[in-house]
Structure 1
Amino acid sequence: MATFVLERIVPAPPAAVFDVSLDVDLHVASQSSRGERAVAGKTTGRLGEGDEVTWSARHFGLRFRLSSVVFDVQRPLRFRDRQTKGPFASFVHTHDFTPVDGGTLMRDTIEFRSPLGAIGQLVDKTIMRRHLIAVITERNDAISRHFS
């Protein structure tokens, strides 16, 4: 399983950052460069415990669909989402929100595994990790801009 962690300070209280992080519309806007849209499940508004959504987006020039479910919601400190159907053998995203001077420390922990065994592990190390960091960074940029 490949893992990475991204952290940033967002100039807003944890509850506000938490809520915006669950907003489908902000997520779609943040991923417009990939043509992402919510196509099934809860397709607009704020996600909550047990909500499912299917995303459609272009990555590496191909259109992919990924369905996920939100779980372990502990407002305003944490929530998680995991792929229920899609291109990964496994994908879990943990979102943590910690109050700090000047706002909220937003921490994203991504654990993922591509299919195809050893070939997938090589893809994860050489391509996928860097790609996912760019995707999550772009989303986090939009969250930060929301509070600017």
Structure 2
Amino acid sequence: MATYRRETRIQAPFDEVWGFHSTTDGLEALTPDFMRLEVERVTGPDGDADPDELDAGSRIELSIQPFGIGPRQRMVSVITERTLDDEAGMFRDAMEVGPFASWDHTHQFFADGDETVLVDRVEYSLPGGRVGRALSPLGRIGLAPMFRGRHRTTKRLLE
């Protein structure tokens, strides 16, 4: 499995950065318009529709249609773990349906005075069996600009 990691210091309090990333509103704000993201359904761990926060067990069904070309691509992601204390938080989502053979994304947040360190770590593999796994490190060609944009947007909206 290939790994991609990005770390950024955000000049905003931990609670604000954590709260922004803990909802589908944050996901929508971080996704570029050209991706034409549609959040179709969000279910909380108890089966409640549209929970206020994405707790462990939450399920997010969405679709994208980059540049409006081709059919919409459906994705389903599940929050598999979530921890929070006064100075750190993390949540992990796994893609059940989507363009990757496997996708495990860990979001980490660390308070540092009035700032927050944001770390994204993705373990993934491309589809296509053995060939896809061998080519998976090339996935960073697409992941690097995507996460660079997400981190820039977080800074722009929260600083």
Confirm or deny: 8 A CA contact 2:94 2:104 kept in the other structure.
yes
Confirm or deny: 8 A CA contact 1:114 1:121 kept in the other structure.
yes
Determine which of 51, 69, 72 is the counterpart of 2:78.
69
Determine which of 124, 140, 145 is the counterpart of 1:112.
124
Does 1:12 find its partner at 2:19? Answer: no
Helix, strand or coil at the partner of 1:15: helix
* Comparing 101-110 and 38-47, the one that deviates more: 38-47
| Count of residue pairs the alignment pairs up | 147
Does 1:146 find its partner at 2:153? Answer: no
Give the whole-Å Cα distance in 2 for the aligned partners of 1:45 and 1:131.
30
Confirm or deny: 8 A CA contact 2:4 2:143 kept in the other structure.
no
Helix, strand or coil at the partner of 1:77: strand
Confirm or deny: 8 A CA contact 1:25 1:44 kept in the other structure.
no
Name the structure 2 match of 1:41.
42
Deviations 1:108-140 (A, max 9, x none): 0010011112331354233x2221222222222
Deviations 1:58-114 (A, max 9, x none): 359553221001122112411111111222111000011112245011000010011
- Please list every run of at least 4 consecutive aligned residues from structure 1 whose deviation after the TM superposition is greater than 6 angstroms: none
Helix, strand or coil at the partner of 2:60: strand
Give the whole-Å Cα distance in 1 for the aligned partners of 2:6 and 2:21.
14
Give the whole-Å Cα distance in 1 for the aligned partners of 2:125 and 2:28.
24
Q: After TM superposition, give the deviation of residue 11 of structure 1 in Å.
A: 1.3
The structure number with the bigger radius of gyration is: 2
Q: Give the unaligned 5+ runs of structure 1.
A: none
Q: After TM superposition, give the deviation of residue 44 of structure 1 in Å.
A: 7.8
* Comparing 58-67 and 93-102, the one that deviates more: 58-67
Determine which of 78, 90, 110 is the counterpart of 2:102.
90
TM-score computed with the length of structure 2 as normaliser: 0.80
Confirm or deny: 8 A CA contact 1:57 1:65 kept in the other structure.
yes
Helix, strand or coil at the partner of 2:99: coil
Give the whole-Å Cα distance in 1 for the aligned partners of 2:123 and 2:144.
12
Confirm or deny: 8 A CA contact 1:26 1:142 kept in the other structure.
no
**Sequence identity, in percent?**
27
Confirm or deny: 8 A CA contact 2:57 2:80 kept in the other structure.
yes
Confirm or deny: 8 A CA contact 1:25 1:45 kept in the other structure.
no
